[in-house]
Chain A
Amino acid sequence: MHWIDWLVLIGTLVLIAVYGVWKTRMVSNTESYLLGDRELKWWTIGLSIMATQASAITFLSTPGQAYESGMGFAQFYFGLPIAMVILAAFVIPQFYRLKVYTAYEFLETRFDLRTRTLTALIFLLQRGLSAGITIFAPAIILSAILGWPLGITNLAMGGLVIVYTVSGGTNAVSQTQKQQMIIILSGMFIAAIILLRQLPTGVGMSDALSLTGQLGKLELIDLEFSFENRYNIWSGLFASTFLFLSYFGADQSQVQRYLSGRTLTESRLGLLFNGIIKVPMQVLVLFVGLLVFVFFQFEKPPIHFNDANLRKISAMEVDGRRPYADSLQYWQERYDAVFEARSAAVDQFVVARAERNAQGEQAALMAVREHAQEDSLVREEVKAMIKRADKSLNTLDSDYVFITFVTEYLPVGLVGLLLAVIFSAAMSSTASEINALATATMVDLYRRSLFRGRSDAHYLRMSKWLTLGWGLIALAFASMASLFDNLVEAVNIVGSIFYGTVLGIFAVAFFFKKTGARAVFYAALLAQVAVIVLFWMHEVGRSTLTFLWLVPIGCFLVIGLSALFNQFLTDEPFLLPEQDGDPLPDRETKQQRP
């Protein structure tokens, strides 16, 4: 990498970190450290929410997804604006009214301590695992492409984050996320412009759209309902809404972002801002991937985007020979020939379009499709060969498409900027995660149940130690992650197993006001067991239900069972305060009642 790229990369990341530390140097009490004195304006909240959700893998994987399968993935986010409106209307006012620090704190006021502790522990387990993955998943890709040792990449991503998150707490996280989102959005815009400028002379945006559109890659909306097709408008509008309600309403890494708002209005506006901007932002990221696809119609892409895999199998020796190097050379020659033919067909398509020759356009398009199929077959053969050579190698190379383009085709300076985009994304989501993990540990366990009645200075000091501790755990987990197979999927499965139950508990808390603490606690336990059994049945082949459906099932089980249990497990109904500000029933008094 050129020294200017190094300068841009390191300069950007260090400046953001220093800004975060400097801006929050006055943090002197626990409230300030954990909630940033509730001073944030709506645009900071909105950008912070977006930065928390967008991890580095979003910017590595999403363009690759558009490259391989088109823009349909955008539908996954269609439930997000709906979830934002529901949360802004019903959930945030309750959090504000109770002046809570964590989402789980609300559950104690609504139900009891054990429900609060149970959900906080579920969060710590699930988010604690995924914090390591947030660092590891992009680090393994960047290491392969940049040739850096995995440990160094992990450390580069996690180290700076730990410094400013430990130093300034929540406020440092939000302040740096604002800068990081500006870098991310500008970087993606610049990448899109550069891609358009790098297309051959005579090939414009309209040609790019026409080519990708007629190859079926611009189908943003799939109206056909199907359980097998993961991304269609129905799963986007319904199933995703549940997922986003759970993620934004019950996951402390997000809740903490909007609880730092100066007023309820600022928090609501921050969420609605996210609801308006998030879908177009994802479409922009997908569109960049689509432009990379167009770019590689004229410029020959590698036969396999994860070059480290090719290097590894090429170097393998069997009986003094290098059989995979020979095979690879054979497939490479075939691939070169297919590319030449496909590229010529694409040129014909562009010429026919310019001449308004509809027949020529269709003929060229047919040729492009045929050669694209051949191209795909050759690439699959190479993947199969890699697997034969070493079963442990991951042959899914779509995550490497965008980073390959960045490192090999962008001009000096922009390589550093785009790498800064990816690192910023990793750092912003990791910072939120360790900040939220430390807050939940401090507020819901440490000061609530373990060490009560200590001084503010003690809790502030311990909050910093907890942030450091969770940061180191995430780093340790990231460095061990390569020891496990399918780790990313494993963490997603763990999330799906628990998210439904947590969402169900919150749904009962907000919308079923007559349901008592005992009913929801036992319903949550039973629902959790049922979800685990369903998952186990799938694992042993007794059910075809995939893990994605565990979220709505878990949620509805908690709601249904708690309604049932509430018939005989009597518990004093909880009454939320009226709009005019009636106080909530006093918990201590309530607990003394028979």
Chain B
Amino acid sequence: MIEKTWFMTQPPSPKKTPGHAELPELEPPPVLGTWRRMYTVVLVLHVLLIIGFWLFGRYWSGA
């Protein structure tokens, strides 16, 4: 007898499982409360890093 496993469902068709109702994306991040804030922090850090690099380069090049 062939045991029924994960690959038997062809093609992948998402079924409503008990866990499906609590879709993981609804889970908030561990800090900052919302994902939108998390993304903003990453992007703001990136902008600050770029500005920091620019100032660093200018300072040491004597400009």
Chain B, range 5-28, C-beta contacts under 8 Å to A? 5-8, 10-16, 20-27
Q: A97 near B46 (CB under 8 angstroms)?
A: no
Chain A, range 408-462, C-beta contacts under 8 Å to B? 443, 447-448, 452-456, 459
Q: Which residue of A lies closest to B49 (CB)?
A: A279
Residue B33 at the chain A interface, CB threshold 8 Å: no
Query: Measured between alpha carbons, how far is A584 from B16 in the docked complex, in Å?
Result: 9
Q: A588 near B25 (CB under 8 angstroms)?
A: no
Q: Which residue of B lies closest to A275 (CB)?
A: B42
Query: Measured between alpha carbons, how far is A452 from B30 in the docked complex, in Å?
Result: 41
Q: A213 near B57 (CB under 8 angstroms)?
A: yes
Q: B25 near A96 (CB under 8 angstroms)?
A: yes
Expressed in whole angstroms, the minimum distance between the Cβ of A501 and any Cβ of chain B is 22
Q: B2 near A212 (CB under 8 angstroms)?
A: no
Which A residues are CB-close (under 8 A) to B56? 218, 220
Residue A202 at the chain B interface, CB threshold 8 Å: no
Residue A350 at the chain B interface, CB threshold 8 Å: no
Q: A272 near B53 (CB under 8 angstroms)?
A: no
Q: A221 near B16 (CB under 8 angstroms)?
A: no
**Are A219 and B14 also in contact (CB < 8 A) when A85-B43, A264-B25, A275-B46 are?**
no
Give which listed residue, B23, B29, B43, B61, contacts A581 with CB less than 8 A.
Answer: B23
Q: A263 near B27 (CB under 8 angstroms)?
A: yes
Q: A581 near B2 (CB under 8 angstroms)?
A: no
Q: B24 near A577 (CB under 8 angstroms)?
A: no
Which A residues are CB-close (under 8 A) to B6? 30-31, 456
Chain A, range 80-106, C-beta contacts under 8 Å to B? 81-82, 84-85, 88-89, 93, 96-100, 105-106
Which B residues are CB-close (under 8 A) to A210? 60, 62
Q: Which residue of B lies closest to A35 (CB)?
A: B6
Residue A29 at the chain B interface, CB threshold 8 Å: yes
A225-263 interface bits toward B, Cβ cutoff 8 Å, 1 = contact, 0 = none: 000000001000000000000000000000000000001
Which B residues are CB-close (under 8 A) to A452? 10
Residue A15 at the chain B interface, CB threshold 8 Å: no
Q: B57 near A587 (CB under 8 angstroms)?
A: no
Residue A359 at the chain B interface, CB threshold 8 Å: no
Query: Measured between alpha carbons, how far is A31 from B56 in the docked complex, in Å?
Result: 48
Expressed in whole angstroms, the minimum distance between the Cβ of B52 and any Cβ of chain A is 9
Chain A, range 275-327, C-beta contacts under 8 Å to B? 275-276, 279-280, 283
Which B residues are CB-close (under 8 A) to A279? 46, 49
Which B residues are CB-close (under 8 A) to A544? none
Which A residues are CB-close (under 8 A) to B10? 448, 452
Q: B25 near A221 (CB under 8 angstroms)?
A: no
Q: A587 near B11 (CB under 8 angstroms)?
A: yes
**Are A29 and B5 also in contact (CB < 8 A) when A85-B39, A221-B54, A581-B21 are?**
yes
**Which of the four size classes fits the interface of chain B?**
35 or more
Which B residues are CB-close (under 8 A) to A448? 10-11
Which B residues are CB-close (under 8 A) to A74? 53
Q: Which residue of B lies closest to A29 (CB)?
A: B5
Q: A81 near B24 (CB under 8 angstroms)?
A: no
A452-482 interface bits toward B, Cβ cutoff 8 Å, 1 = contact, 0 = none: 1111100100000000000000000000000
Give which listed residue, B2, B3, B54, contacts A220 with CB less than 8 A.
Answer: B54
**Are A98 and B60 also in contact (CB < 8 A) when A89-B35, A279-B46, A455-B2 are?**
no
Q: Which residue of A lies closest to B38 (CB)?
A: A272
**Are A454 and B2 also in contact (CB < 8 A) when A85-B42, A218-B57, A221-B53 are?**
yes
Q: Which of A85, A214, A580 has the most chain B CB within a 10 Å cutoff?
A: A85
Q: A456 near B43 (CB under 8 angstroms)?
A: no
Residue A216 at the chain B interface, CB threshold 8 Å: yes
Which B residues are CB-close (under 8 A) to A214? 60-62
Q: A81 near B42 (CB under 8 angstroms)?
A: yes
Expressed in whole angstroms, the minimum distance between the Cβ of B34 and any Cβ of chain A is 11
Query: Measured between alpha carbons, how far is A577 from B20 in the docked complex, in Å?
Result: 11
Q: A109 near B14 (CB under 8 angstroms)?
A: yes
Which A residues are CB-close (under 8 A) to B26? 579
Q: A81 near B53 (CB under 8 angstroms)?
A: no
Q: B61 near A219 (CB under 8 angstroms)?
A: yes
Query: Measured between alpha carbons, how far is A580 from B21 in the docked complex, in Å?
Result: 6
Q: A213 near B50 (CB under 8 angstroms)?
A: no
Q: Which residue of A lies closest to B16 (CB)?
A: A583
Expressed in whole angstroms, the minimum distance between the Cβ of B47 and any Cβ of chain A is 9
Residue contacts A-B, CB under 8 angstroms, 28 given: A31-B6, A74-B53, A82-B46, A88-B35, A89-B35, A97-B14, A98-B14, A106-B12, A109-B14, A113-B11, A212-B60, A213-B62, A219-B57, A221-B50, A264-B24, A264-B25, A268-B38, A275-B42, A275-B46, A276-B45, A279-B49, A283-B53, A452-B10, A453-B2, A579-B25, A579-B26, A581-B16, A581-B20
Q: List chain A positions with a Cβ less than 8 A from chain B.
A: 29-31, 71, 74, 78, 81-82, 84-85, 88-89, 93, 96-100, 105-106, 108-109, 113, 116, 209-210, 212-214, 216, 218-221, 233, 263-265, 268-269, 272, 275-276, 279-280, 283, 443, 447-448, 452-456, 459, 577, 579-581, 583-584, 586-588
Seed contacts A109-B14, A233-B50; 14 additional CB < 8 Å A-B pairs: A85-B43, A93-B24, A96-B25, A116-B11, A209-B60, A210-B60, A214-B62, A264-B27, A268-B35, A272-B39, A276-B42, A454-B2, A459-B7, A587-B13
The 5 A-B residue pairs with the shortest CB-CB distance, nearest first, are A213-B60, A264-B24, A220-B53, A456-B5, A221-B54
